[in-house]
């Protein structure tokens, strides 16, 4: 592999080493601008993780661009042959067959671009079921500036012809890309603006009438487009002017859409144009107002048929209520004495005028002033439920609920505002005239009564619905990504399809990334692992402890035997010198894996109303950052061990029980009091080293900010590192770690004062040697600091002495003086190392 890498570079091609998952094994951004040296090639291609070679496209490799034809998604089985027929130039270019049976077509050109998708197709129902986010799949795309392709001699990649990178002209490239675009099956429909010129007087508007009657082929030919082929329902055209392309666009007669593949026309590539849009661009230079007026002059449009109002309203209401056409025909025959054929034609005329069946939540009634629109609340509630809005009771038997919106296997908390937007969008997309009213007339009624229709009094009548949510269990964690769900156990990570898991997922928990799971990746090549090493002071035991804590926090299951709050502290003894050690970066990293609610600890008050109002049902970690000095840790006991109460404005408070409540994380420049075993049992403290500080940041170490400048490969390494942390936690639990002396000293200083710590430093050596009367020690402390007993009680002094000995692993030996009968104490070091602190 190294020999091949050297050969590629001798041809002016930049290459990098890749692993089993086709991703770069090392950061490769710099090789987009320069070719690697021989030593750098050895470092990469002699690495034990190297499994393949990739060619970096772009200017660095002399203007290489590669067309990637992915045949595993070709349902026709003929895409490659048809592409070669459409673009004969392909046969003269360097071609590589890929591991999946597709092809890479290489060339050089003085003008190239970044990666581009050229041809997509809609996802099949089976594909969508497996991956709901998948709406379309890519058939043909390019790899250009900023991209790379796997290349021979990587296993599975074979040369179809000999390596020769042909330089093609800009025109030849345009022709080649246009041929690729001709296989695109997903187009963005160009929507013509709605014309408001007396639309109510038309059963079929002039522009709709034109769409139905226009001869688009004749129109295009009149403007210089040439018919070159007819393929089923498609008529293929060549654009006006000189071009080597076999085709430049096509018109689909069934869909009534025209699209182009070329960039050299007034039409945008891969957008679908209706006949009316084509007419407007060609005849009126894109001016829709002028084209509409001309169509009206030319007699396009069918006048609305006069239908008796009571029949019109009855049909609209029946269709809106969901009755079938046959049922409505029967009503008209019985109630209005219409013949069957007349009733059927009447309904068809109404549907032509209004559009197909629409689910309504209103009725129109005649009044002395004309017509009144009434919102029917029971229909309104039914419409919302059918649209996916319903109530979700977190615990059965509990009267407290949240409103949610569920669709396509995903759920999210809903608000009155989200319902308003949904209703507004629905109304604005209704036919221009329906039930004898316009969308704007209906919207006006809804807006006037918004307080009534969107208030709690009505919304709480929504029906409830059970949700089979995806949840972690005691030894399994799940992380939803765009392309599937990663399942983690102690044995590692595995990518499953959404269909395999078959659970409802919180939409907000889906990580916006296409993940490649790699249980054997080299974590030492991951930037974030290097960050973890540095904040651990490069101490192996401490790094293991951090790894287990990250895994604990990311596991969404709450084990009753592990009711822990994680505290991110600092090694520095003097809090004035604290800050900048990387605590915020670690919290940010967690937020890329789980929903983290970050709270400003400096201004946070536990007893304040709405303290946790931003916490949602999908929140998994509450990070209280930069907590102030002397924070009341005891006040958080119930939240850590029992659950959390969420109180939001204008909503009932919701108690989330321990098993489903977020884990609690603190960050601090000080230390959090942990006097007593009950506090110690609830804390897992990690001390950040002082490697990073206000003068030396991670950006200084990595020459860029973490996260901000990462490419897809670095993100993939990061996510796999997080999977490793979770799997490690499953296998090993949270590794216990003794706090360092600096943190212990900070703890004593915080709880018992700097004066006591200074006294203890001076006196402990004397206490190692002989027993001293307790009263004498107490008096010496008061005298040293010019304190009265009211300034520092004997009880507090005793507690400080006991706590200090416990922290530094000393034992206190007590005895009574044989003569005075007064208590005396002596300190005994349990370990030799602790004689100096």
Torsion sign, CA atoms 818, 820, 823, 824: negative
**Per-residue model confidence (pLDDT) at position 147:** 95
**Per-residue model confidence (pLDDT) at position 576:** 60
Based on the structure, what is the number of domains in the chain? 5
Q: Which two tokens stand for residue 75?
A: 């349902």
Angle value at C-alpha 765, between 761 and 771, nearest 5 degrees? 120
Neighbours of 126 (CB within 10 A): 8
Helix (H, G, I), strand (E, B) or coil at 530: helix
CA gyration radius for the chain?
A: 36
* Over residues 165-185, mean pLDDT: 92
* Over residues 704-727, mean pLDDT: 93
Whether residue 196 has pLDDT greater than 50: no
Q: Same domain for 155 and 220?
A: no
Whether residue 197 has pLDDT greater than 50: no
Question: Is the Cβ–Cβ distance between 616 and 634 less than 8 Å?
Answer: no
**Per-residue model confidence (pLDDT) at position 292:** 84
Whether residue 324 has pLDDT greater than 60: yes
Q: Same domain for 60 and 43?
A: yes
* Over residues 742-758, mean pLDDT: 77
Scan for tokens 């679908």, then name that residue: 272
Helix (H, G, I), strand (E, B) or coil at 309: helix
Question: Is the Cβ–Cβ distance between 140 and 70 less than 8 Å?
Answer: yes
Which of 91, 74, 265 is CA-nearest to residue 161?
Answer: 91
- Using DSSP, how many helices (H) and how many strands (E) does the chain show? 29, 36
Q: How far apart are CA 779 and CA 167, in angstroms?
A: 92
Whether residue 636 has pLDDT greater than 50: yes
Mean of pLDDT over the chain: 86
Top pLDDT among 164 and 612 is at 164
Which of 579, 662, 580 is CA-nearest to residue 622?
Answer: 662
Q: Same domain for 452 and 540?
A: no
Q: How far apart are CA 301 and CA 299, in angstroms?
A: 7
Classify residue 796: in a domain, yes or no. yes
Q: Same domain for 175 and 203?
A: no
Pairing of strands 249-252, 234-238: antiparallel
* Over residues 428-439, mean pLDDT: 72
Q: Which two tokens stand for residue 22?
A: 């086709």
Whether residue 820 has pLDDT greater than 80: no
**Per-residue model confidence (pLDDT) at position 172:** 93
DSSP per-residue codes, 548-564: HHHHHHH-----TT---
Q: Which two tokens stand for residue 446?
A: 């809804």
Whether residue 409 has pLDDT greater than 70: yes
Question: Is the Cβ–Cβ distance between 248 and 158 less than 8 Å?
Answer: no
Classify residue 394: in a domain, yes or no. yes
Q: How far apart are CA 270 and CA 261, in angstroms?
A: 6
The last residue of one of the domains, among 269, 303, 337, is 303
Q: Same domain for 134 and 273?
A: no
Whether residue 403 has pLDDT greater than 60: yes
Q: Same domain for 587 and 718?
A: yes
Going across the sheet that includes 158-159, the strands are 117-122, 136-143, 64-69, 103-108, 94-97, 158-159
* Over residues 161-174, mean pLDDT: 94
Q: Same domain for 552 and 694?
A: yes
Whether residue 683 has pLDDT greater than 50: yes
* Over residues 671-689, mean pLDDT: 73
Whether residue 167 has pLDDT greater than 90: yes
Give how far Cα 697 sits from Cα of 75, 532, 691, 704, Å: 52, 13, 9, 10
The last residue of one of the domains, among 184, 212, 245, is 184
Across 15-128, the runs of DSSP E, i.e. the strands, are 15-18, 52-56, 64-69, 94-97, 103-108, 117-122
Q: Locate all alpha helices (DSSP H) within 46-166, ordered by sequence.
A: 79-86, 125-130
Q: Locate all alpha helices (DSSP H) within 555-688, ordered by sequence.
A: 583-591, 637-641, 677-681
**Banded model confidence at residue 737, pLDDT cuts 50, 70, 90:** low
DSSP per-residue codes, 427-443: HHTS-SSBTTB-HHHHH
The residues that bridge with 829 in the sheet, in sequence order, are 810
Cβ within 8 Å of residue 599, ≥6 positions away:
622, 623, 624, 625
Give how far Cα 617 sits from Cα of 282, 348, 392, 620, Å: 54, 48, 10, 8
Q: Which two tokens stand for residue 321?
A: 């209520």
The residues that bridge with 117 in the sheet, in sequence order, are 141
Neighbours of 72 (CB within 10 A): 10
Q: Which domain holds residue 775?
A: 753-835
Classify residue 639: in a domain, yes or no. yes
**Per-residue model confidence (pLDDT) at position 334:** 72
Q: Same domain for 87 and 209?
A: no
Q: How far apart are CA 104 and CA 375, in angstroms?
A: 59
**Per-residue model confidence (pLDDT) at position 776:** 85
Which of 327, 742, 717 is CA-nearest to residue 522?
Answer: 717
Q: Same domain for 721 and 780?
A: no
**Per-residue model confidence (pLDDT) at position 824:** 83
Question: Is the Cβ–Cβ distance between 541 and 737 less than 8 Å?
Answer: yes
Torsion sign, CA atoms 155, 157, 163, 169: negative
Pairing of strands 401-407, 410-413: antiparallel
Going across the sheet that includes 810-816, the strands are 772-773, 823-829, 810-816
Question: Is the Cβ–Cβ distance between 436 and 448 less than 8 Å?
Answer: no
Tens of pLDDT, residues 371-397: 789 999 999 999 899 889 999 887 666
Top pLDDT among 138 and 433 is at 138
Tens of pLDDT, residues 63-111: 999 999 999 999 889 999 999 998 999 999 999 999 999 999 999 999 9
Neighbours of 723 (CB within 10 A): 26
**Banded model confidence at residue 806, pLDDT cuts 50, 70, 90:** confident
Question: Is the Cβ–Cβ distance between 203 and 298 less than 8 Å?
Answer: no
* Over residues 243-253, mean pLDDT: 87
Q: Same domain for 290 and 351?
A: no
**Per-residue model confidence (pLDDT) at position 835:** 45
Q: Which two tokens stand for residue 169?
A: 């002209």
Q: How far apart are CA 67 and CA 142, in angstroms?
A: 4
Top pLDDT among 638 and 726 is at 726
Pairing of strands 643-646, 410-413: unpaired
C-alpha of 245 from chain center: 41
Classify residue 480: in a domain, yes or no. no
* Over residues 479-494, mean pLDDT: 96
pTM across the whole model: 0.74
Tens of pLDDT, residues 50-64: 999 999 999 999 999
**Per-residue model confidence (pLDDT) at position 837:** 41
**Per-residue model confidence (pLDDT) at position 311:** 74
* Over residues 665-689, mean pLDDT: 76
Q: How far apart are CA 535 and CA 589, in angstroms?
A: 14
CATH of the domain at 672: 3.40.50.300
Query: Percent of the chain, pLDDT > 90?
Result: 44
Top pLDDT among 660 and 717 is at 717
Q: Which two tokens stand for residue 788?
A: 């009265």
Top pLDDT among 311 and 673 is at 311
**Banded model confidence at residue 288, pLDDT cuts 50, 70, 90:** confident
Whether residue 354 has pLDDT greater than 60: no
Q: How far apart are CA 504 and CA 483, in angstroms?
A: 15
Whether residue 12 has pLDDT greater than 90: yes
Tens of pLDDT, residues 505-541: 999 999 999 999 998 888 888 999 999 999 999 988 8
Classify residue 743: in a domain, yes or no. no
The per-residue b/e assignment along 283-295, b for 16 or more CB within 10 angstroms, e otherwise, is: eeeeebeebbebb
Q: Which two tokens stand for residue 745?
A: 């000293």
- 693 CB burial (10 A radius; 0-12, 13-18, 19+): middle
Q: Which of 41-55, 119-133, 249-263 has the highest mean pLDDT?
A: 41-55
CATH of the domain at 27: 3.30.2250
Classify residue 711: in a domain, yes or no. yes
The last residue of one of the domains, among 184, 218, 245, is 184
**Per-residue model confidence (pLDDT) at position 833:** 45
- Backbone torsions φ then ψ of 438, nearest 5 degrees: -100, 160
Q: Same domain for 243 and 322?
A: no
- Backbone torsions φ then ψ of 811, nearest 5 degrees: -115, 145
Q: How far apart are CA 837 and CA 805, in angstroms?
A: 11
Q: Same domain for 157 and 231?
A: no
């Amino acid at each position: 592999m190294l020999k091949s890498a050297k050969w590629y570079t001798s041809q002016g091609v930049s290459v990098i080493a890749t692993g089993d998952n086709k991703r770069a094994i090392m950061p490769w951004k710099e090789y987009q601008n320069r070719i690697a040296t021989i030593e750098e090639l050895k470092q990469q291609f002699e690495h034990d993780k190297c499994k393949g070679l990739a060619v970096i496209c772009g200017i660095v490799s002399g203007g290489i661009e590669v067309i990637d034809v992915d045949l595993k998604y070709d349902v026709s089985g003929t895409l490659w042959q048809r592409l070669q027929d459409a673009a004969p130039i392909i046969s003269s270019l360097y071609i590589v067959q890929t591991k999946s049976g597709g092809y890479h077509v290489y060339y050089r050109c003085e003008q190239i671009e970044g990666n581009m998708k050229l041809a997509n197709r809609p996802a099949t129902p089976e594909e969508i079921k497996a991956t709901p986010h998948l709406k379309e799949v890519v058939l043909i795309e390019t790899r250009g500036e900023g991209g790379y392709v796997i290349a021979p001699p990587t296993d599975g990649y074979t040369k179809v012809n000999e390596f020769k990178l042909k330089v093609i002209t800009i025109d030849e490239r345009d022709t080649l890309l246009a041929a690729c675009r001709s296989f695109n099956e997903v187009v963005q429909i160009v929507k013509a603006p709605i014309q408001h010129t007396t639309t109510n007087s038309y059963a079929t508007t002039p522009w709709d009438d034109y769409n139905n009657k226009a001869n688009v082929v004749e129109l295009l030919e009149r403007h210089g487009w040439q018919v070159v082929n007819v393929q089923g329902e498609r008529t293929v055209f060549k654009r006006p002017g000189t071009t080597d392309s076999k085709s430049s666009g096509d018109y689909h007669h069934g869909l009534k859409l025209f699209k182009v593949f070329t960039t050299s026309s007034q039409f945008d590539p891969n957008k679908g144009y209706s006949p009316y849009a084509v007419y407007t661009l060609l005849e009126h230079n894109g001016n829709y107002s002028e084209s509409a007026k001309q169509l009206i002059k030319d007699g396009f449009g069918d006048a609305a048929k006069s239908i008796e109002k009571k029949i019109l309203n009855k049909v609209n209401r029946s269709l809106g209520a969901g009755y079938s056409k046959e049922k409505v025909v029967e009503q008209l025959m019985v109630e209005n004495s219409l013949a069957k054929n007349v009733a059927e034609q009447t309904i068809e005329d109404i549907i032509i005028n209004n559009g197909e069946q629409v689910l309504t939540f209103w009725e129109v009634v005649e009044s002395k002033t004309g017509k009144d629109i009434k919102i029917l609340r029971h229909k309104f509630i039914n419409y919302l439920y059918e649209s996916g809005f319903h109530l979700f009771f977190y615990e059965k038997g509990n009267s407290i609920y949240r409103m949610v919106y569920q669709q396509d296997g995903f759920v999210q908390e809903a608000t009155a505002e989200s319902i308003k937007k949904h209703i507004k969008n629905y109304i604005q997309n209704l036919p221009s005239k329906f039930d004898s009213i316009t969308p704007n007339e209906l919207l006006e009624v809804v807006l006037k009564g918004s307080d009534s229709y969107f208030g709690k009094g009505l919304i709480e009548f929504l029906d409830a619905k059970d949700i089979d949510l995806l949840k972690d269990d005691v030894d399994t964690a799940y992380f939803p990504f765009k392309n599937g769900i990663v399942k983690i156990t102690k044995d590692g990570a595995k990518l499953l399809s959404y269909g395999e898991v078959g659970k409802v997922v919180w939409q907000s928990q889906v990580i916006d990334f296409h993940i490649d799971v790699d249980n054997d990746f080299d974590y030492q090549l991951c930037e974030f692992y290097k960050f973890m090493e540095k904040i651990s002071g490069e101490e192996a035991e401490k790094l293991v402890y951090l790894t287990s804590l990250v895994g604990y926090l990311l596991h969404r299951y709450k084990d009753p035997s592990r009711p822990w709050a994680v505290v991110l502290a600092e090694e520095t003894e003097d809090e004035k010198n604290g800050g900048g050690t990387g605590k915020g970066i670690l919290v940010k990293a967690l937020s890329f894996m789980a929903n983290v609610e970050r709270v400003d600890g400096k201004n946070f008050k536990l007893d304040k109303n709405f303290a946790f109002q931003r916490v949602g049902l999908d929140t998994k970690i509450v990070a209280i950052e930069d907590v102030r000095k002397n924070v009341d840790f005891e006040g958080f006991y119930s939240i850590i061990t029992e659950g959390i109460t969420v109180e939001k404005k204008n909503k009932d408070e919701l108690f989330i029980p321990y098993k489903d409540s977020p884990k609690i994380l603190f960050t601090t420049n000080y230390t959090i009091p942990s006097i007593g075993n009950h506090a110690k049992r609830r804390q897992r403290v990690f001390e950040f080293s002082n490697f990073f500080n206000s003068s030396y940041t991670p950006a200084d170490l990595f020459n860029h900010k973490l996260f901000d400048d990462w490419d897809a490969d670095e993100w993939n390494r990061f996510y796999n590192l997080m999977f490793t942390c979770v799997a490690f936690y499953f296998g090993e639990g949270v590794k216990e770690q003794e706090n360092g002396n600096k943190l212990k000293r900070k703890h004593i200083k915080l709880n018992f004062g700097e004066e006591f710590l200074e006294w203890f430093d001076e006196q402990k050596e004397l206490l190692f040697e002989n027993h001293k009367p307790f009263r004498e020690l107490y008096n010496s402390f008061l005298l040293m600091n010019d304190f009265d007993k009211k300034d520092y009680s004997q009880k507090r002094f005793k507690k400080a002495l006991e706590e200090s000995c416990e922290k530094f692993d000393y034992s206190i030996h007590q005895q009574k003086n044989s003569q005075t009968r007064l208590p005396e104490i002596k300190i005994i070091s349990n370990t030799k190392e602790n004689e100096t602190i």
